[in-house]
Structure 1
Amino acid sequence: MNKILKILSILVIGFVMFSCSTPTNDPETPAPNPEVQTYSITFKVENSAQQPVADFLNSLPDYKNLKEGTEVELLTIVYATEENKCTFDSTATFKVTIYYEDDVTSVRIGNENIEIKVERLDIEQR
């Protein structure tokens, strides 16, 4: 009788340990997604007077963390205050039209970060 109880207790312990173990191939657990590579657009200027516009564009989340293949429209009009702060508020003091190198107005994200040069700005006082 003792032998039977020992064998049963060993089987019960083995069953409990087996059922509590973590399976390596659980079909209900989704495989972890590989980290998606994202890219950014950076705006550059040669004239330091244009730097506030480049800083404003570089601060926008629309140009950060972009997936490959994404088509991105570039801003061509922003507004500015006398304090050199850019905004989307059309009641601001100045209307700034932005012209990019090679007359681009949109870009498609490839597998690298993109640098776009602001060629010139037309500033119209309102």
Structure 2
Amino acid sequence: MNKIFKILSILMMVFVLFSCADPSSNPEDPTVTEPQGYSITFVAKEPVQQPVADLLNSSPDYKNLKEGTEVELPTVIYMTEETEQLSLELTESSTHENGICYEGNITSVVVGNEDIEIKCWLGGGFTVVKR
């Protein structure tokens, strides 16, 4: 009878060990990783142009891109005179507009298998938005 209790206690410990084990630690199960997306990062040509690069970098349109995706780059930026806030969209409060230039005079890029870094700057002085 004593041997039966020992065998049962060993079996019980083995059962407890396997039931408490982390299922993700099983080396036989392949782990599925989500494919990595690539991103476009904008760098200001000069420090004074940094707000333009910051605005472009804040857009989710340039993050987690799949390889082979063609991305159109914005060519116009708008500013509100009162707050000097920059925007890529023309709104009722937009008072001035300017062109955005990119190194190599590009207007679109095709995402490869690596992140892309693009230099950008404003094309000239802001002009008044005509409504």
Q: Same fold (TM over 0.5)?
A: yes
Greater alpha carbon shift after TM alignment, 106-115 vs 75-84:
75-84
Greater alpha carbon shift after TM alignment, 45-54 vs 63-72:
45-54
On the 8 A contact 2:46/2:121 being kept in 1, the answer is no
Aligned positions of 1:1-126 closer than 5 A: 33-82=32-81, 83-87=83-87, 88-91=89-92, 92-122=94-124, 123-126=126-129
Q: Identity rate of aligned residues, in percent?
A: 50
What is the aligned-residue RMSD (CA, Å)? 3.1
On the 8 A contact 1:52/1:85 being kept in 2, the answer is no
On the 8 A contact 1:52/1:84 being kept in 2, the answer is no
On the 8 A contact 2:102/2:120 being kept in 1, the answer is yes
On the 8 A contact 1:45/1:117 being kept in 2, the answer is yes
TM-score by length of 2: 0.66
Equivalent pairs, count: 120
Gap regions ≥5 residues in structure 1? 1-30
Gap regions ≥5 residues in structure 2? 1-29
Return the structure number with greater strand share: 1
